[in-house]
A = this chain, B = another copy of it.
Amino acid sequence: MKGYLWTGGPGSPASEAPPADGRLAPWEAIAVDAVGNVIEFWGFKRNQGRVWALLYLRGEPLTAGEIERELDLSKGGVSMLLRDLERWGVIQRVRLPQDTVWRYGAENDLVRMVTHVIEEREAGFVARIRADLAEARRLAETQSGLPPDRLQRLEKMATLAEHVERALRLFIKTSRLDVSGVLSVFRDEATGARRGSK
């Protein structure tokens, strides 16, 4: 079959396109870094994005060692990155039959990951802010000689916070909707073409 059994020695030569040992092809490097930047922009680690991008572009599962070499990361780092990504469900750990090592393949729901984690962050975070503002209001109300316009402003602040929160929720919802179209495009190829030989 394909190059699934990589069980060669240390110097096992790459079968086809990618150098497999050293560094990526230039175009891969660019694309991988682009995704890394995006993902960092969204508050994740740059290398989490790079790993996902590499796995996605390659289309077939890679081992931790390969990722380590291709992206020039440390062993420990790769281990942690993979664990994060797996926990979020954006990569999948597979053990091929009669193979001893784990391989990792990209899921296509990077978007789900982003919206999911944003949602999560937002949930805890917004709850906290809301609680704080409520607490502030409670305290402020017990104050006796407080000018009423001050309290008013505090209340407006809380209102504003609520609206921003609502906008954020809306965003998550719409972005998910908007993106689901793209995802469907992804999907038909995703699971199929993985071993969709040429």
Q: Which of A33-41, A73-81, A86-94 contacts B (4 or more CB under 8 A)?
A: A33-41
Q: How far is A42 from B51 in the complex, measured between Cα atoms in Å?
A: 25
Give the distance to chain B from A183, nearest Cβ to Cβ, in Å. 8
> A136 near B185 (CB under 8 angstroms)?
no
Q: Which of A62-70, A97-105, A168-176 contacts B (4 or more CB under 8 A)?
A: A168-176
Q: How far is A170 from B11 in the complex, measured between Cα atoms in Å?
A: 41
In chain A, positions 11-31 with a C-beta closer than 8 Å to chain B are 11-12, 14, 16-17, 25-28, 30-31
Q: Which residues of B contact A14 (CB under 8 A)?
A: 143
> B167 near A174 (CB under 8 angstroms)?
yes
Q: Which residues of B contact A181 (CB under 8 A)?
A: 163
Q: Which residues of B contact A163 (CB under 8 A)?
A: 178-179, 181-182
Q: How far is A88 from B152 in the complex, measured between Cα atoms in Å?
A: 25
Give the distance to chain B from A107, nearest Cβ to Cβ, in Å. 13
Q: How far is A193 from B152 in the complex, measured between Cα atoms in Å?
A: 11
For residue A159, CB closer than 8 A to chain B, the reply is yes
For residue A123, CB closer than 8 A to chain B, the reply is no
Chain B residue nearest to A157 in the complex (CB):
B31
Contact of A38 among B12, B129, B138, B196 (CB under 8 A): B129
Q: Which residues of B contact A197 (CB under 8 A)?
A: 147-149
Give the distance to chain B from A46, nearest Cβ to Cβ, in Å. 13
A sample of 28 cross-chain residue pairs with beta-carbon separation below 8 angstroms, ordered by A number, consists of A16-B143, A17-B143, A27-B138, A27-B139, A27-B143, A27-B154, A30-B133, A30-B139, A31-B136, A34-B132, A53-B157, A56-B157, A57-B153, A57-B154, A58-B150, A114-B164, A152-B189, A152-B193, A153-B189, A156-B182, A156-B185, A156-B186, A164-B175, A167-B178, A170-B171, A170-B174, A170-B178, A171-B175
